[in-house]
Amino acid sequence: MSTVLAAVIPAPNAPVELREIPEPDLEPNSALLEVELSEVCGTDVHLQRGNLSSVPYPFIPGHVSIGRLSKINGQMLDLDGKPFKEGDRVTFLDVHKTCNACWHCLVAKATTRCPHRKVYGITYGLSDGLTGGWAQKICLKPDTRLIRAESTESERFMAGGCGLPTALHAVERGDIALGDTVLVLGSGPVGLSAIILALMRGALRVLCIGAPDHRLETARAVGAHDTLNFENLSESNREQWVRDHTNGRGADVTIEATGAPVSVVQAMRYTRDAGKVVVVGQYTDHGETAFNPHTDLNKKHLDVRGCWGSDFSHFYRGVQIMSDANRSKPWTSIKLDRYGLRQTNEALKSVASGEAIKALIDPHLP
């Protein structure tokens, strides 16, 4: 029987282990994906530390991946009803089983809050099969939404990775208008993709506040007009910097992509009257923060919007952008570090410390 090499997080706070897993028989209308690249993101760091609820340990991390279909049992169709063939290069929406039949899906039209959804590499565990990208192969269950990626360079696509659909959703939520000045808080993968996409959406200028310096250099390389390292600066200094760059008014739209609760209040204060704030960086619970409802919200006539996950449309649009050699060029400025399946603990460490901007998992490395 052939086996598949996979990196497994056995329990919260335990190091990643390499395991050999028997290659499963495919259920009808499912497929096996030979992984070209997967990634390590901030979520994986939280998963290893046990910071997210409803994670079925042990599990194989890696929620966004790209590769080739090596085996199909039955039929898997694309959006146009065309069947996929063995050998096709694809990526897939990591969110599975959005039901399109519940109150969240049908009435609230908030499919990313559908209680039935399962996520590869996060809420699917080893008991569900080969369901994460830190492995030689992923088992794609029936009704997994595959997207053709024949003309998408895998390295460039993964430079966006899971941050790309998240940032695309955030930029969409921000309703950025032509000529807006957009402020992005955070210079990690979501922040960097948000800078590129805000410009694509018509922002005149994008400002970025983040750290450390090498990430801010990347922020400028992908298109940010000006950046500020927030370390060693007081709150009022930072606010003054934003005002100096926005005719004293504050940003038209601010996208918070930091993970620090206090940044949400700062985002409100850095935004102009009647502007918009999109909160996308609070994926895990880092606690509470205080604000003044009168001065920070009501009197400002401010529009503050949460942004949870991403749906198929964000993922699909992201793949189309990455398939366009010209429009996807800014992502080539993001430095990538590749790790093999045996080096995933190092990869996690490098992402946790902020040293790596984007860490990729390449199962072909020794």
At closest approach, how far in Å is the CB of 142 from Zn ion?
17
Stretch that binds Zn ion, among 113-121, 144-152, 229-237, 243-251 (CB under 5 A): 113-121
Number of residues lying near Zn ion (CB under 5 A): 7
Residue 105 interacts with Zn ion (CB under 5 A)? yes
Q: Residue 256 CB: number of other CB atoms within 10 A?
A: 31
Residue 193 interacts with Zn ion (CB under 5 A)? no
β-strands 358-361, 251-256 pairing? unpaired
Comparison of 61 and 223: residue with beta carbon closer to Zn ion: 61
- Name the phi and psi angles at 277, rounded to 5: -120, 130
Residue 99 interacts with Zn ion (CB under 5 A)? yes
At closest approach, how far in Å is the CB of 283 from Zn ion?
9
Contacts with 308 (C-beta within 8 Å, 6 or more apart), sequence order: 110, 112, 113
E strand or H helix at 305? strand 303-306
Residue 102 interacts with Zn ion (CB under 5 A)? yes
Pick from 143, 132, 139, 69: which is nearest to 100 by CA? 143
Determine if the peptide bond prior to 28 is cis (ω within 30°).
Answer: no
Residue 41 interacts with Zn ion (CB under 5 A)? yes
Stretch that binds Zn ion, among 92-100, 152-160, 252-260, 283-291 (CB under 5 A): 92-100
Query: Which of 162, 195, 265, 351 is the binder for Zn ion (CB under 5 A)?
Result: 162
At closest approach, how far in Å is the CB of 149 from Zn ion?
18
Are 42 and 357 in contact, with CB atoms under 8 Å apart?
no
At closest approach, how far in Å is the CB of 100 from Zn ion?
6
CA within 13 Å, CB half, 177: 5
Stretch that binds Zn ion, among 25-33, 74-82, 101-109, 121-129 (CB under 5 A): 101-109
At closest approach, how far in Å is the CB of 182 from Zn ion?
22
| Angle at CA of residue 252, ends 243 and 318, nearest 5° | 125
Residue 114 interacts with Zn ion (CB under 5 A)? yes
What SS3 state is found at 269?
helix
Comparison of 275 and 309: residue with beta carbon closer to Zn ion: 309
Residue 184 interacts with Zn ion (CB under 5 A)? no
Comparison of 160 and 174: residue with beta carbon closer to Zn ion: 160
At closest approach, how far in Å is the CB of 299 from Zn ion?
37
Q: Which two tokens stand for residue 218?
A: 């990347």
Comparison of 43 and 323: residue with beta carbon closer to Zn ion: 43
At closest approach, how far in Å is the CB of 72 from Zn ion?
26
What SS3 state is found at 214?
helix
At closest approach, how far in Å is the CB of 302 from Zn ion?
29
Pick from 365, 203, 350: which is nearest to 276 by CA? 203
Comparison of 111 and 263: residue with beta carbon closer to Zn ion: 111
Amino acid at residue number 255: I
Residue 352 interacts with Zn ion (CB under 5 A)? no
Q: Is 48 left (phi over 0), alpha (psi -120 to 50) or beta?
A: alpha
Q: How many residues does the chain have?
A: 366
DSSP classification of residue 24: P
Comparison of 218 and 271: residue with beta carbon closer to Zn ion: 218
Residue 280 interacts with Zn ion (CB under 5 A)? no
At closest approach, how far in Å is the CB of 40 from Zn ion?
8
Cα 300 to Cα 115, 234, 245, 249, 303, distances in angstroms? 34, 23, 19, 11, 9
Residue 76 interacts with Zn ion (CB under 5 A)? no
Contact positions vs Zn ion (CB under 5 A): 41, 43, 99, 102, 105, 114, 162
